[in-house]
Amino acid sequence: MRGIANFIVKFVLSIVFVVLCAAATAAGNVIYVDDSAIGANDGTSWDDAYNYLQDALADANTASKTLEIRVAQGIYTPDQGDGFTRGDRMAVFQLINGVSVFGGFAGVGAIEPDARYIEAYKTILSGDLAGDDADVEDPDELSGHPTRAENSYTVVHGRGNDETTVLDGITIAAGEWSMRNSSGNPVINNCTFLNARCGIDNWDSSQRLTNCTFKGHYFQTIRQNGGSLILINCLFTGNTGGGIDCSAYSDLILRDCTFIANDVSWSGMINCSFGENLKMYNCLFRNNVSSSVVCVTTSVEREFIAENCVFTGNVGMSIDHYRGRMVVSNCLFTGNTGGFFSSGINSWNKYVTVHNCTFSGNSSAYDGNALNLLAGGKVSNCIFWANDRPAIDGREQEIFVRYCNVQGGWPGEGNIDVDPDFVDPGYWDQNGTPEDTDDDFWVDGDYHLQSQAGHWDRESQTWMQDNITSTCIDAGDPNSPIGTEPFPNGGRVNMGAYGACDKAGKSYFNKPVCEVILAGDINGDCVVDFEDLMIIIAHWMIQGDDFINKLPTVRVLEPMNGHRIAWPGPTTFLAEASDPDGQVDEVTFWIKHQQNDGFVSYGLDSDEGAGGWIREYTWKEDLPTGTWTVWAEATDNDGQIGVSPEITVTLYRP
C-alpha cells in the first residue's frame, strides 16, 4: 500500500513538473540534451536535443536571459562537444551564471520525455573519458589504478558563480576532482558525487548543498578553503582517506546529515583546522572508522556547537576538541570504541559545556573515557552508564558536574548513581567468538527513558507505557528550561539525550495519566496544589534570555585614543573588563598596523592586576612606525568573547 501511495505521489509530481516544463518551453528558456537524440541536435526539443552537454553550455553562454538546461538519462563526458578534443583530461563542464542544469529526465523514446525521476533516470557527468574504469570494492584501490590514467582532472568547474547557477539531479563521477569551485556560491541540490579523489574542492566559495550523496572518495570528500559551507540532508558513505576538511577562515554548518560506514582512519570525518565556526544539528555518525569522527582545532574566539546528534558504533574519538568554545547538547554517544583518550568527547579547552547528553556502552583504548575534559568544563543533565571505564576524566577540580546520573558516582549537586532504565540499551555482540574481541560488533539500542506515563516509541511513532519509571525523569537541574517536553512533564527537565525535547519520557505520579490540562497545574499531576506553587516560586521572574550567555564588556584605558608612543617603548596596555552573568577569564590586547602589502598584527595576552587587566610591552625593533589600531578582547567563563571599541595610536622614533 505504501509503494502504491509513493507511486501516486511521484506520478502527481511528474504531472505537475510536465506542466511547468511546458510553460517554460513555451517561453523559450529551455535547452535540451539527450545523448540518444537523432533530430536536428540544436537543443530546441527532446527530439532535436543536443547530444553533448558541452554544446548546450556553449549555447547558453551566448544567451542574454536566464536559461534552464534539461539533461536526459545517460553518461556525458567533458571532452565531447563542438571544439573539444576527445581524451582531453583538462576539459571541464564550466558552470554559467543564470543557467540551471537539471538532470534525471526520461528523454527521447519515453512516453513522457519530460518525466523526471532522478534515481531511475540517472544523468551522469563522468570523468571516465575512455569508459574503462574498473569496479573496485575499496575506494583506496582507485588511487593510481591503471584504468583511471586517462580520467579527467576535474569534471565540473565553477568560477565566480552566484546563486543563479544551479546544479540539480546530477551524478558526478570518476574525476580526480568531481567538482572545483573558486570565488563563487552555486546552488547544488539532489546531486551524487561518486568515486573520485575529491568530491568538491572549494576555494573562497560559499556553497549550500541539499539532499546530496558522497560515496567512494579516496582522498578527500569535501575540501573547503575560505568562505562557508552549508550541508542539509546530505549522506556520506563508503568514503576512505579523508572526510570534510575545513581549513582556515571556513564556516561549516550541517543539518540532518548522515555519515555512515566511512573509513578515514588517518584523518577525521569532519576536520576543522583553525577554521571559523562549526555547527551540527540532527546529524548521525554511525560505524565510521577514523582517528576522530569530528576534530575541531579552531581559533580561540570561534565556537563548535553540536545539537541532537548521534554518535554510535564508531571507531575513534567521536569528538576531539582543541580550541574555541564548545557546546554539546542533546547528543547520544553509544557503542563507540578506540581513540587515544575518549570514545565520546575529548577536549583540551576549558570552555566546554555538555548538557542533556547520554554516554553508554563506550570503550576506549589507553585508559580513555566517555568524556575526557583535560582542561575542565561544565556538565549537566547527562547520563553516563555501562561504559567500560570510569565515564569522566580530566582535571577533577575544574570539571563541574551537576544533576547527572554517573555510574560509580561523581561529586556535585544533584548527581545520582542509579540504573537509568533505558527502553532497550544497546550491547556488544560477540559474533559467536567470545575469545576474539576484534570481530565484536555493536547492536544499537533505544535510549529513551522508560515511564509508566509513556515513552516515545520509534517504531510505532506513538507513546508506549512501561511497567517502571526511570529515576532520571524529572531529575535534571530544577532551573534548566524544560524545552518542549510533553505534558505531563513534572515542571522539571529530564536527564539524558531526550531531556528538554518533545520525545522526553512523561512524568508519572503513581496514578493513571491525567487527560485534563488545568490552568495552574504546572507539573501535570491533574491537581493545582502546593507543589505547583513551589515550582512557580523557584522560577519567579526568570526570563527566557536569562539562559542565554551575555557577552563580557571591555574597554581600553591605556593608551588613550590618539596618543603618540615613543619607539621602542616600553608601553603599558590597560583595560577594564566585566561579565554581567559570570566572570572574565582572560583579556587579550591586539595591535594592528596597516601597510601597503596588508596588515601586521600582534596578539598580547595579559594578566589581571591592580586596576584592571594590564600588559607591559616593549616594541620590537622591526616594527614599522606610523598609525596603529588597538583594541582588547575579553573572554568570559563560558568562552564567549566581547570586543572593545578600537582606538588609534601613533608609534614614532624620538
pLDDT of residue 653: 85
In 10 A of CB 562, how many CB atoms? 9
pLDDT band at residue 275 using 50, 70 and 90 as cut-offs: low
pLDDT band at residue 17 using 50, 70 and 90 as cut-offs: very low
Which DSSP helix (H) or strand (E) runs through 184? Answer: none
pLDDT band at residue 592 using 50, 70 and 90 as cut-offs: confident
Q: Is 533 helix (H, G, I), strand (E, B) or coil?
A: helix
Q: What backbone torsions phi and psi does residue 257 show, to the nearest 5 degrees?
A: -100, 155
Residue 282 has pLDDT above 50, yes or no: yes
Span between the terminal Cα atoms of the chain, in Å: 89
In a domain, 403, yes or no: no
Q: What is the average pLDDT across 264-281?
A: 80
Q: Which has the higher per-residue pLDDT, 590 or 9?
A: 590
> Tens of pLDDT along 210-253?
999 999 998 889 999 888 899 999 999 999 978 898 876 788 99
In a domain, 60, yes or no: yes
Q: What is the average pLDDT across 61-85?
A: 92
Tally of structural domains, the chain: 2
Q: Which of 25-29, 110-114, 291-295 has the lowest mean pLDDT?
A: 25-29
Q: What is the average pLDDT across 22-28?
A: 42
Q: What is the average pLDDT across 313-331?
A: 88
Q: Are 54 and 114 in contact (CB under 8 A)?
A: no
pLDDT of residue 423: 97
CATH number, domain at 133?
Answer: 2.160.20.10
CA distance 430 to 185: 48
In a domain, 127, yes or no: yes
Q: Which of 157-171, 441-455, 523-537, 584-598 has the lowest mean pLDDT?
A: 584-598
In a domain, 378, yes or no: no
Which DSSP helix (H) or strand (E) runs through 14? Answer: helix 2-26
pLDDT of residue 27: 40
CA distance 430 to 180: 45
What is the torsional sign of CA 396, 402, 404, 407? positive
What is the torsional sign of CA 465, 468, 473, 474? positive
CA distance 39 to 45: 9
Which of 190, 207, 241 lies at the terminal end of a domain, its last residue? 241
> Tens of pLDDT along 531-579?
888 888 888 887 777 778 788 999 999 999 999 988 888 888 999 999 8
Residue 31 has pLDDT above 90, yes or no: yes
pLDDT of residue 20: 39
Residue 12 has pLDDT above 50, yes or no: no
pLDDT band at residue 385 using 50, 70 and 90 as cut-offs: very high
pLDDT band at residue 300 using 50, 70 and 90 as cut-offs: low
CATH number, domain at 576?
Answer: 2.60.40.10
pLDDT band at residue 614 using 50, 70 and 90 as cut-offs: confident
pLDDT band at residue 26 using 50, 70 and 90 as cut-offs: very low
Q: CB under 8 Å to 319, separation ≥6 — which residues?
A: 292, 293, 294, 296, 306, 311, 328, 344, 345, 346, 347
When the pLDDT of each residue in the chain is averaged and rounded to a whole number, the result is: 87
Q: Would you list the DSSP string of 266-314?
A: EEEEEEEES-S-EEEES-EEES-EEEEEEEEE--TT-EEEEES-EEES-
Residue 374 has pLDDT above 60, yes or no: yes
pLDDT of residue 624: 81
pLDDT of residue 248: 66
In a domain, 296, yes or no: no
pLDDT of residue 366: 66
Q: What backbone torsions phi and psi does residue 242 show, to the nearest 5 degrees?
A: -155, 160
CA distance 508 to 597: 68
| Percent over 90 (pLDDT), the chain | 54
Residue 53 has pLDDT above 90, yes or no: yes
Which of 222, 241, 260 lies at the terminal end of a domain, its last residue? 241
Instruction: Give the residue among 375, 346, 303 at the shortest CA–CA distance from 635.
Output: 303
Please state the separation of Cα 229 from the chain's center in Å.
Answer: 9
Beta pairing, strands 303-307 & 325-329: parallel
Beta pairing, strands 171-173 & 192-194: parallel
pLDDT of residue 299: 54
In a domain, 8, yes or no: no
Burial (0-12, 13-18, 19+ Cβ within 10 Å), 403: buried
Residue 117 has pLDDT above 70, yes or no: yes
CA distance 180 to 167: 13
In a domain, 604, yes or no: yes
pLDDT of residue 334: 95
> Tens of pLDDT along 477-516?
999 999 999 989 999 999 999 999 999 999 999 888 877 8
Q: Which of 82-86, 150-154, 581-585 has the lowest mean pLDDT?
A: 581-585
Residue 64 corresponds to which cell in the numbers above? 542574454
Residue 117 corresponds to which cell in the numbers above? 525521476
Q: Are 591 and 630 in contact (CB under 8 A)?
A: yes
Residue 6 has pLDDT above 70, yes or no: no
> Tens of pLDDT along 426-455?
998 888 888 887 788 899 999 999 999 999
The range of the structural domain enclosing residue 113 comes to 24-241
Which of 226, 241, 256 lies at the terminal end of a domain, its last residue? 241
Burial (0-12, 13-18, 19+ Cβ within 10 Å), 367: exposed
pTM: 0.86
Q: Would you list the DSSP string of 121-172?
A: S-EEEE--TTS-PPP-SSGGGGTT-GGGTT--SEEEEEES--TT-EEES-EE
Torsion angle in degrees (nearest 10) through CA of 645, 583, 297, 345: -160
In a domain, 340, yes or no: no
Instruction: Give the residue among 209, 146, 134, 139 at the shortest CA–CA distance from 179.
Output: 209
